[in-house]
Structure 1
Amino acid sequence: MTQESLISIVLCTYNGEAFLQEQIGSLLQQSWKNIEIVVSDDHSTDGTRSILSKYENDPRFRITYQQKNLGAVANFEYAAGQANGDCIAFSDQDDVWLPGKIEKLYGAIGDSLLVYSDSELVNEQGASLHKKISGLRKLGNTNDTRGFVFSNVVWGHAMLVKRELLQHVLPIPQQIPHDIWFAAKATALSGIVYLDEVLTRYRQHSKTVTTTIAQKTTTRPHEKRFIDFEEKLNWINILKHNCGDAERPFYEKLYDLFSLKANGKFVMPLFLFLLKHQAALFQFTNKSLLSRVVEIRKLSRGEQR
């Protein structure tokens, strides 16, 4: 890859008229000029199409208007598959990118398949919430996928990936967010790189798909807890089949022990296993050792339908 490399920006839209114009403006102000902006609109019913229509004759844009609503995952997979760049960045419809974002991420990716950066959280009006993702998570380089079992450190809007990663991550497994899936898979294949710089103003509002600031949780009914358990077990199984050889025994053991939760009883062997590997499992969090033990205790309790 050279300074002339084409970089694709994939932008999926759906009823995003409130913030879309500002975001497109920030994409066009990137210091890296050899870009294509691949847009797939998922059959919006508001003014989104009117905003996009202004760029239909701009050679930097390739815009598709879906004839029916595909849903977020299918629309994302379609858009990602249209990208021609050597590297690909993923844009939400409601954020604001700083001008040097693409150039700086490209310069930092090195031999990795994925690089990501820090973000500043802003409110609906774009005013700073005086929080950064780096204040909520421990961001950094890693080649250890175990941190993704119960947490995440890479958001889709903050990453740049090499095109070759797509052949390993598409299609996206059902019910798995694309950002954690891309990050975990890239970690297993090449390790991931963190650029310690705020490059995105990450808007938080009522329609935000991903919750970044931790919310207080209420007690979940048994049925919901069991569904969550099944989803987590499925995720562990996916990681087991996509990790490196060195990590596979860990995931095989974790899957077997986590499965025992379905008996409805506290699983002491799981508690001890999680405690043994707590440093790797909680590598992305700021939890104290005591908080980790409390969390591990919750994770080891039995679940019933």
Structure 2
Amino acid sequence: MSSPLVTVICLCYNHGRFLATSIQSVINQTYSNLEIIIVDDASTDGSQELIDQFKNEDRVKLVMLPDNLGNCAAFNRGLALAHGKYIIDLATDDVLMPDRIEKQVTLFETLEKEVGVIFSNTEYIDAEGRHLRWHYPVDEHKKVKQAVPQGNIFAQLLARYFISPPSMMMRKVVLDELCGYDRNLAYEDFDFWIRSSRHYQYIYQDLILTKVRKVENSLSSRGYVPGDLQLHSTYLVCKKAKKLISNGEEKDALLERVRYEVRQAVFSENFVEATRFFSLLRELDGMRGGYAFLEWLNNKRLKLSWLRKLYLWIRY
């Protein structure tokens, strides 16, 4: 059986400190039938000069964007050039374990076409590469301690975050059917999960195959701040999800998500976005419990971020 082509789209924006390690982890994979597309989203830290050293690699294509487009649009530029059967979306501060692609392809090739995405466990590391934690807690054999949802997980993905996005391998056909990521959003994963899981199954592979870097003040490591574009993107995805739900279980899952985001918006002082989420909550007939009081607090434009910071400090 021939080995299918895998495309790794490496997205860079000011990752100069980590860039070489990340890309080298792709080049050094035990799986050889690779196409590597490096997309630089108009970095300002000298990343483009570092990327240039890979231009003579046979499997590497370089895309240097003159203007910063954001993750979603930048990824789509790479996807337009991709020929692989399977796609990996890699930020160039993260690191692939040497056999990640081999392990994922081996599994994917045994699965039915209804499976559109596989994902795995990840190790979180700091800027210096030191271990922080596992995405899913593991036992002494590095196997997950609790079952991870898989299969038809549309409702679970609506309700809560539980997949580590850098761990995913996707069928290209899934991305093609969705026309890639939604370039109007500030981030991609929640929207991709909702749109893809409506039609495709997800399978979990119980291996640790990726090191995900957590850097202070990065989008993935901080909470919402006032005027946060990510929060507005989440609202837009919830509006999309409302059109996709088909039963009571899925509606309850969306309500769980919207209520969570309402609390996040109010206590991060995103008053406009909170108003939008309250409106969506009413559309879903979900204004129960203390949410009328929360709406009153939001309408008063009370600055409550200190309470959120105190809660997080006590909890963590």
Q: CA deviation at 1:297?
A: 5.3
1:138-184, Cα deviation, whole Å (9 max, x unpaired):
73314132223342222331100001011233353433631222222
State how far apart, in whole Å, the 1-side matches of 2:70 and 2:52 are: 21
Alpha-carbon distance in structure 1 between the residues aligned to 2:94 and 2:251: 38
Could you tell me how far 1:79 is from its partner in structure 2?
1.4
1:208 CA displacement = 2.9
1:191 aligns with one of 177, 198, 201: 201
* Residue matched to 1:102: 101
State the SS of the aligned residue for 1:270: coil
Q: Quick one: percent identity of the two aligned structures?
A: 19
Aligned equivalents of 1:67 and 1:208: distance in 2? 22
| Matched position secondary structure for 2:48 | helix
Instruction: Note the aligned Cα RMSD (angstroms).
Output: 3.7
| Counterpart residue number, 2:122 | 119
1:42 & 1:260 partners in 2: Cα distance? Answer: 31
Post-superposition offset of 1:298: 5.9
Question: Structure 1 residues 186, 107: CA separation in 2 closer, same or farther (over 3 Å shift)?
Answer: farther
Whether 1:270 aligns to 2:286 is: yes
Change in Cα spacing, 1:134 to 1:170, as seen in structure 2 (3 Å) is: same
SS at match of 2:286: helix
In the TM superposition, what whole-angstrom CA distance separates every residue of 1:169-210 from its partner, at most 9, and x where no partner exists?
335343363122222223211211111111011111125331
Q: Is the 8 A contact 1:271 1:300 kept in 2?
A: no
Long gaps (5+) in structure 2: 139-145, 260-275, 302-316
| Distance of aligned partners of 1:132 and 1:246 in 2 relative to their CA distance in 1, 3 Å threshold | same
Query: SS in structure 2 opposite 1:84?
Result: coil
What is the match of residue 261 of structure 1?
278
Letter paired with 2:188: H
Match of 1:177 in 2: 187
Instruction: For residue 122 of structure 1, report the CA deviation from its aligned partner.
Output: 0.9
Counterpart mapping for 1:160-171 below 5 A: 160-171=169-180
Residue identity in the other structure for 1:125: E
Partners in 2 of 1:299 and 1:86 — Cα distance? 49
TM-score (norm 2): 0.72
Alignment of 1:1-12 (within 5 A): 2-12=1-11
Query: Any residues of structure 2 matched to 1:42-57 within 5 Å, and which?
Result: 42-57=41-56
Q: Which of structure 1's runs of 4+ aligned residues deviate more than 6 A?
A: 257-260, 265-268
* Contact 2:238 2:254 (C-alpha < 8 Å) held by counterparts: no
Question: How big is the shift at 1:54?
Answer: 1.4
Q: Does 1:250 align with 2:259?
A: no
What are the ranges of 5 or more consecutive residues in structure 1 without an aligned counterpart? 273-295
Q: Which amino acid aligns with 1:124?
A: A
The equivalent of 1:200 in structure 2 is: 210
Cα distance in structure 1, aligned partners of 2:46 and 2:203: 38
How many angstroms does 1:45 deviate by?
Answer: 2.3
Equivalent residue letter for 1:113: G
How far apart are the structure 1 equivalents of 2:284 and 2:12?
46
Query: Within 1, Cα distance between the matches of 2:208 and 2:292?
Result: 33
Task: Tell me if structure 2 keeps the 8 A contact 1:270–1:300.
Answer: no
What TM-score comes out, normalization by structure 1 length? 0.74
Q: Contact 2:75/2:181 (CA < 8 Å) preserved in 1?
A: no
Q: Which residue of 1 aligns with 2:61?
A: 62
Q: Give 2:70's aligned amino acid.
A: G
Q: Which residue of 2 aligns with 1:211?
A: 221
Does the C-alpha gap of structure 1 residues 234 and 300 become closer, same or farther in structure 2, counting only changes over 3 Å?
Answer: farther
Between the aligned partners of 1:299 and 1:260, the Cα distance in structure 2 is 12
Residue 134 of structure 1 aligns to a residue in which SS?
A: coil
Cα pair distance change 1:66/1:199, threshold 3 Å: same
Amino acid at match of 1:106: V
Alpha-carbon distance in structure 2 between the residues aligned to 1:43 and 1:127: 28
User: For residue 19 of structure 2, what is the amino acid of its counterpart?
Assistant: L
Q: Give the conservation status (yes or no) of the 8 Å contact 1:240–1:248.
A: no
Pair 202,247 (structure 1): closer, same or farther in 2 beyond 3 Å: same
Asked if 1:30 corresponds to 2:29, the answer is yes
Q: Does 1:75 align with 2:74?
A: yes
